[in-house]
């Protein structure tokens, strides 16, 4: 089992999403950089994370906060150089922390040299690297806009090119034509470049959208009138006769990185219902290694709003079974809005009313531009319970930088930038800076260090089989995780009222000692777990683990 755990490191790891521009300023110019990150690697090591995901650090005109890339083979000079990056990746690895980088290949910036050349002439060798039409494709007439209120179509006319180009996101982000073999080769070349510099994989941006684009032809002579399937989530369409071709793109990418590195992974942004996600996972050695679990995340927030575990239980029961080498990424918040787009209209209204009722807190009619502390009214008990809950759920937990500090958003910043705030490393008047929390054993930072340590002590939480337990209280989510002869039982009270519940008699193998993993009191310590009575305070949580002698 040790060999399996080491080889499939992501199944028991803890991730950390990091925005270089806002994490730490190393040269005093007010802008975060690689030098600043290098000076704070001990923070990540003490936190206990096992891999970091670096958000885009490539040259960019910053029309979408770096997700509009103008050069895939360079580092933005504002954050450092390739040399600085290699130093940081190596230093992280020396601390047992692997590095993933963002792969943003659904689209480029309009400032990318490929697009500038493509728009210059229909004879450009890069023309078919993008998706062009003489008129907007009628198939997109009812496509949902990703940024409602900011764009009114997924097609824009380019005067220099004399044609319309497709952009699933902003009009300054033209879609790459991923059905073009040359584009596919270039994507793999980009991946190979960063793997050679020491990264171990990629968080792949907007996966369903570039898979969708892979079913289209970029040639302006193509009418785009093939048989199209019904729209799926967020208006995604796929040519019914080209699905195998579109997913071949993911197969090619996965096969390539597997040849280059035995430990390399692809972590996908796939915000789709479960029944559609299996296509993106593929088999054991194909396609995405991990996908972020947006279904579970949205149902978790609905459950929290209702103070009822029901939605979470339904999501866990509906989760598809994955190959042993695959995993879901579990998260509470990320760098975008809290997306609630898979909830029914009345469910969405419940979550917005509970956690962000003001218009300025909401965005795109589908989510919240808040971090969790504000959402829970800075209730420390509730905040701890939510993160303990997330770490207990089957999958790989991924933190967004600043969560370990209970960092707030800044609603004065526009749109989704509100949650992308700067880390405060020194002492602050509020006493919530990193230096303050380091000295306070009761701080949120110290809670997170303990939480990560407990999770890493119990690999069954990440990759074990899960049994949902009925303990008689609708507010309590209780489940058992079992793997390699070890068992952990976790209970989380989503409600404000304290509750006492009883675990089933056979929840832990007979004769095993049971320890309270957070040491809240002596209940459960060195006892038989059968029929154990457990009291949970308001928003309380308990983790029990058996001891294998």
Number of domains in the chain: 3
Flag whether 381 is in a domain: yes
Within-domain flag for 194: no
pLDDT of residue 243: 56
Please check the confidence at residue 241 and state whether its pLDDT lies above 60. no
Classify residue 268: in a domain, yes or no. no
**Is the residue at 51 inside a domain?**
no
pTM (predicted TM-score): 0.94
Question: Mean of the pLDDT values across residues 414-432?
Answer: 95
Higher per-residue pLDDT: 399 or 230: 399
Digit-coded pLDDT (tens) for 131-149 = 999 999 888 877 778 888 8
CATH number of the domain bearing residue 523: 2.60.40.1180
Annotated catalytic residue within 269, 337, 403, 460: 269
Q: Is the residue at 162 inside a domain?
A: yes
First to last CA, the chain: 17
pLDDT of residue 164: 97
Give the chain's mean pLDDT: 91
Q: What is the pLDDT of residue 212?
A: 79
- Sheet with 155-158, strands from edge to edge, namely 132-133, 163-166, 155-158
Instruction: Look at residue 506 in the predicted model and tell me its pLDDT.
Output: 85
Domain region containing 316: 296-326+336-412
SS (H, E, C) 453-506: HHHHHCCHHHHCEEEEECCCCCCEEEEEEEECCEEEEEEEECCCCCEEEECCCC
CATH code for the domain of 130: 3.90.400.10
DSSP string, 407-441: ----TTS-GGGGG-PPP--S--TTS-SHHHHHH-T
245 has a pLDDT exceeding 70: no
Q: Is 269 a catalytic residue?
A: yes
pLDDT, residue 234, reads 53
- Asked about 151 being catalytic, the answer comes back as no
Q: How confident is the model at residue 3 (pLDDT cuts 50, 70, 90)?
A: low
Does 227 have pLDDT greater than 50?
Answer: no
- Of the pLDDT bands very low, low, confident and very high (cuts 50, 70, 90), residue 223 is very low
Band of residue 523 on the pLDDT scale cut at 50, 70, 90: very low
Domain boundary among 153, 177, 201: 177
- State both tokens at 58: 């490539």
Whether residue 489 is found in the same domain as residue 405: no
Of 154, 177, 200, the position where a domain reaches its end is 177
**pLDDT > 70 fraction of the chain, expressed in percent and rounded:** 91
Q: How confident is the model at residue 19 (pLDDT cuts 50, 70, 90)?
A: very high
Of 352, 348, 306, 349, the closest CA to residue 475 belongs to: 306
335-354 pLDDT tens trace:
999 999 999 999 999 999 99
Is the pLDDT at 154 greater than 80? The verdict is yes
């Amino acid at each position: 089992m040790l060999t399996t755990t080491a080889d499939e490191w992501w199944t028991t790891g803890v991730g950390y999403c990091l925005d270089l521009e806002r994490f730490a300023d190393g040269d005093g110019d007010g802008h975060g950089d690689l030098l600043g990150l290098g000076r704070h690697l001990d923070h990540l090591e003490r936190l206990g994370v096992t891999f970091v995901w670096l958000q885009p650090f490539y040259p960019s005109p910053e029309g979408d906060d770096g997700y509009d890339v103008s050069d895939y083979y360079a580092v933005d000079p504002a954050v450092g150089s390739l040399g600085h990056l290699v130093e940081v990746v190596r230093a992280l690895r020396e601390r047992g922390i692997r590095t993933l980088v963002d792969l943003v290949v659904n689209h480029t910036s309009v400032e990318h040299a490929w697009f500038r050349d493509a728009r210059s002439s229909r004879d450009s060798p890069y023309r078919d690297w993008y998706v062009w039409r003489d008129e907007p494709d009628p198939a997109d007439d009812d496509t949902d806009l990703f940024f409602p209120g900011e764009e009114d179509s997924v097609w824009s006319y380019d005067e220099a090119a004399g044609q319309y180009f497709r952009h699933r996101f902003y009009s300054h982000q033209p879609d790459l034509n991923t059905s073009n073999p040359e584009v596919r080769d270039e994507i793999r070349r980009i991946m190979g470049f960063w793997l050679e510099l020491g990264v171990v994989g990629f968080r792949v941006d907007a996966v369903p959208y570039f898979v969708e684009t892979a079913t289209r032809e970029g040639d302006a002579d193509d009418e785009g009138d093939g048989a199209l399937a019904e729209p799926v989530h967020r208006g995604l369409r796929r040519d019914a006769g080209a699905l195998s071709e579109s997913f071949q793109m993911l197969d090619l990418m996965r096969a390539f990185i597997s040849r280059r590195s035995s430990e390399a992974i692809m972590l996908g942004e796939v915000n789709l219902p479960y029944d559609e996600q299996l296509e993106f996972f593929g088999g054991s050695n194909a396609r995405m290694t991990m996908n972020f679990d947006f279904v579970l995340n949205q149902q978790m927030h609905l459950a929290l709003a209702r103070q009822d575990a029901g939605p979470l239980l339904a999501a866990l029961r509906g989760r598809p079974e994955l190959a042993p080498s695959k995993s879901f990424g579990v998260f509470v918040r990320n760098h975008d809005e809290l997306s609630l787009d898979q909830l029914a209209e009345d469910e969405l209204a419940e979550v917005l009313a509970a956690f962000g009722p003001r218009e300025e807190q909401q965005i795109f009619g589908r989510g919240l531009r808040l971090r969790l502390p504000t959402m829970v009214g800075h209730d420390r008990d509730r905040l701890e319970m939510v993160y303990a809950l997330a770490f207990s759920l089957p999958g790989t937990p991924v933190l967004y930088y600043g969560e370990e500090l209970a960092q707030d958003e800044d609603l004065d910043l526009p749109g989704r930038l509100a949650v992308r705030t700067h880390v405060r490393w020194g002492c602050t008047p509020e006493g919530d800076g990193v230096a303050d929390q380091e000295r306070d054993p009761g701080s949120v930072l110290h809670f997170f260090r303990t939480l990560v340590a407990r999770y890493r002590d119990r690999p069954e939480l990440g990759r074990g089989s899960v049994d949902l337990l009925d303990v008689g209280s609708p507010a309590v989510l209780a489940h058992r995780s079992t793997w390699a002869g070890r068992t952990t039982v976790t209970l989380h009270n989503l409600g404000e009222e304290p509750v006492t519940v009883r675990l089933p008699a056979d929840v832990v193998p007979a004769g095993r000692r049971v320890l309270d993993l957070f040491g809240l009191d002596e209940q459960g310590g060195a006892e038989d777990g059968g029929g154990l009575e457990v009291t949970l305070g308001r928003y309380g949580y308990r983790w029990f683990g058996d001891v294998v002698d």
